[in-house]
C-alpha cells in the first residue's frame, strides 16, 4: 500500500505506542491522587506537558490536554467568546478554516455573536489590510489557521499576530496541520491560543492540546473536577497524553530532516504532474505551503473516480479533505480560492509522510498520469 493521506491521519510511531504501553494496565493510577502510585501517572503527564510547552517556546502551565483538534478549536472559540462577552461579540475568521472552526462560528452566530469570514486570494492567503480593516471596537478574537489542511497554504501568521496585538484582540490559530511539521514559536508569532491534534503528527487518535497564553481568560469547556488547572475536567487520559508527548518529542527531533526530505519529494511531484499532464491546476501557493502537500485540480476529471482507480492500485489519496468525502458540495476551500465547481470536483490531494519513499511517489505520479489520461479518453468517447 502507498499511503499518501497524512493530512487525514498519520500512522502512530512505534516508539509512541511503546511509551504508552505501561500506562494502560500496569501504571493505571489516577494522575490526580496523592499516593506514590498515582504520582507515577502525574509525573508522566507533566513530562508530556513540559515537552510540548518547550516545543512551542511556551510554559507548561499554558498547555491544556484535550481529546483532539476539534475539541481544542471548539474550546478556543466558545471559551474566549464567552469569557470576553462583556467586551464585545465580534469574531474574525476566514472562509477556508476547518469545519471545527467554521461550524463553531456558526454556532456562535446562533448565540448572538457576529462573525466576519474573510475571503482569501487565489493562493489561499488572507489579505492583511482587509483583516486589519475588519477589526472593530467590539472584536474579541481573530482565528486564522496556521496552514490549510486541503491546499497546504501557510498563512502570514507573524503579521496577523502583530496586527492582533496592536489592536489588543486575541489571536487563535488552528495549527493542527502545522504543529510537528514546521517550527512554531508562540511569542514570535504573538499567538494567544493554538490548537493541535496528536494523530496528525504520528501520535494517538483522540488526543490533542490547546495552548492558552498566561492571563488569557476562557470559560471552562468541561465542568467537573479540578484537572487541567480546573479548566478542563475529567480524569486524565494518561496513555494518550504520554503518547502525544512522545510524538511531540520525536517531531521536534526529526523536523528539519523531514522538512528537507518531504519538500524535495513534494517539489518533484508538483513538477512532474505539471509538466507531464495537460490541463492541471496547482491548488495553494507554490512556495508558502506545507512540506508534505501536493494538491491539483484536473480538467475534465471526476476526482472521486480517480481516487477509486488509485485505490485499485493500493494508493490512498484524498479528493479534498477526509471530512468532505461523500459531500455533494464542492470544497469550501477550493470555492474560496476561486475554483469553479467543475474543476473543484476534479481535485486530488496527496500528502506525504516521514516514511514516504522516492519509489512510492514515482509509482503514484505514474498512476495519476495514466488514469487521468484513461478517464479523459473514456469521457471523450461518450
Ligand atoms: C484534522 C484537523 C482538525 C481536527 O482534528 P481532530 O483531532 O481530528 O479532531 C482540525 N483542524 C485541522 C486543520 C485539521 O486538519
pLDDT tens, 119-143?
999 999 999 999 999 999 999 999 9
Beta carbon of 96 within 6 Å of any ligand 1 atom: no
Residue 12: pLDDT over 90: yes
Beta carbon of 176 within 6 Å of any ligand 1 atom: yes
| Residue 18, pLDDT score | 98
C-alpha grid cell for residue 277? 499532464
Please name the residue whose Cα sits nearest to atom 5 of ligand 1. 69
* Number of helical (H) and strand (E) elements in the chain, helices listed first: 11, 12
| Residue 289 β-bridge partners | 153
Q: How far is the CA of 172 from the centre of ligand 1 (A)?
A: 15
Task: Indicate the angle between helix axes 36-56 and 238-276, nearest 10 degrees.
Answer: 30
| Residue 326, pLDDT score | 56
Site to substitute for ligand 1 among 68, 152, 201, most atoms within 8 A of C-beta? 68
Reported residue count of the chain is 382
| Residue 312, pLDDT score | 97
Q: If you average pLDDT over residues 81-89, what whole number do you get?
A: 97
90 close to 84: Cβ distance less than 8 angstroms: no
Q: How far is CA 135 from the centre of its chain?
A: 25
Q: If you average pLDDT over residues 255-280, what whole number do you get?
A: 98
Q: Name the pLDDT band for 321 (thresholds 50, 70, 90).
A: low
Catalytic residue positions, numbered: 323
231 close to 64: Cβ distance less than 8 angstroms: yes
157 close to 372: Cβ distance less than 8 angstroms: no
Q: If you average pLDDT over residues 65-82, what whole number do you get?
A: 98
Q: Name the pLDDT band for 319 (thresholds 50, 70, 90).
A: confident
Q: Name the pLDDT band for 324 (thresholds 50, 70, 90).
A: low
Give CA–CA dist 100/107, Å, rounded.
Answer: 11
| Residue 58, pLDDT score | 98
Residue 328: pLDDT over 90: no
Residue 322: pLDDT over 80: no
Amino acid at each position: 500500500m502507498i499511503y499518501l493521506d497524512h493530512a487525514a491521519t498519520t500512522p502512530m510511531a512505534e516508539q509512541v505506542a511503546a511509551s504508552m504501553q505501561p500506562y494502560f494496565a500496569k501504571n493505571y493510577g489516577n494522575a490526580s491522587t496523592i499516593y506514590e502510585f498515582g504520582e507515577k501517572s502525574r509525573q508522566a503527564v507533566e513530562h508530556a506537558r513540559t515537552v510540548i510547552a518547550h516545543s512551542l517556546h511556551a510554559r507548561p502551565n499554558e498547555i491544556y490536554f484535550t481529546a483532539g483538534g476539534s475539541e481544542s478549536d471548539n474550546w478556543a472559540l466558545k471559551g474566549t467568546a464567552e469569557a470576553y462577552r462583556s467586551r464585545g461579540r465580534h469574531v474574525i475568521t476566514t472562509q477556508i478554516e476547518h469545519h471545527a472552526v467554521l461550524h463553531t462560528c456558526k454556532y456562535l452566530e446562533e448565540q448572538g455573536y457576529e462573525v466576519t469570514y474573510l475571503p482569501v486570494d487565489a493562493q489561499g492567503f488572507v489579505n492583511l489590510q482587509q483583516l486589519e480593516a475588519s477589526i472593530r471596537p467590539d472584536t474579541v478574537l481573530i482565528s486564522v489557521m496556521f496552514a490549510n489542511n486541503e491546499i497546504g497554504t501557510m498563512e502570514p501568521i507573524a503579521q496577523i499576530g502583530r496586527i492582533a496585538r496592536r489592536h489588543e484582540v486575541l489571536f487563535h490559530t488552528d495549527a493542527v496541520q502545522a504543529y510537528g511539521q514546521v517550527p512554531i514559536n508562540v511569542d514570535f508569532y504573538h499567538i494567544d491560543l493554538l490548537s493541535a491534534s496528536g494523530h496528525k503528527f504520528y501520535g494517538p487518535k483522540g488526543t490533542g492540546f490547546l495552548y492558552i497564553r498566561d492571563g488569557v481568560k476562557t470559560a471552562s469547556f468541561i465542568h467537573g473536577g479540578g484537572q487541567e488547572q480546573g479548566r478542563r475536567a475529567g480524569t486524565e487520559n494518561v496513555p494518550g497524553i504520554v503518547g502525544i508527548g512522545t510524538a511531540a518529542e520525536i517531531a521536534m527531533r526529526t523536523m528539519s530532516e523531514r522538512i528537507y526530505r518531504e519538500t524535495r519529494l513534494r517539489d518533484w511531484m508538483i513538477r512532474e504532474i505539471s509538466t507531464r499532464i495537460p490541463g492541471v491546476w496547482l491548488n495553494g501557493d507554490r512556495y508558502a505551503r506545507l512540506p508534505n502537500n501536493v494538491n491539483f485540480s484536473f480538467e475534465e476529471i471526476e476526482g472521486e473516480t480517480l481516487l477509486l482507480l488509485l485505490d485499485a492500485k493500493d494508493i490512498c489519496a484524498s479528493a479534498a479533505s477526509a471530512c468532505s468525502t461523500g459531500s455533494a458540495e464542492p470544497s469550501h476551500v477550493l470555492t474560496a480560492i476561486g475554483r469553479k465547481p467543475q474543476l473543484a470536483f476534479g481535485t486530488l490531494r496527496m500528502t506525504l509522510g516521514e516514511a514516504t519513499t522516492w519509489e512510492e511517489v514515482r509509482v503514484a505520479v505514474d498512476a495519476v498520469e495514466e488514469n487521468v489520461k484513461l478517464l479523459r479518453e473514456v469521457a471523450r468517447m461518450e
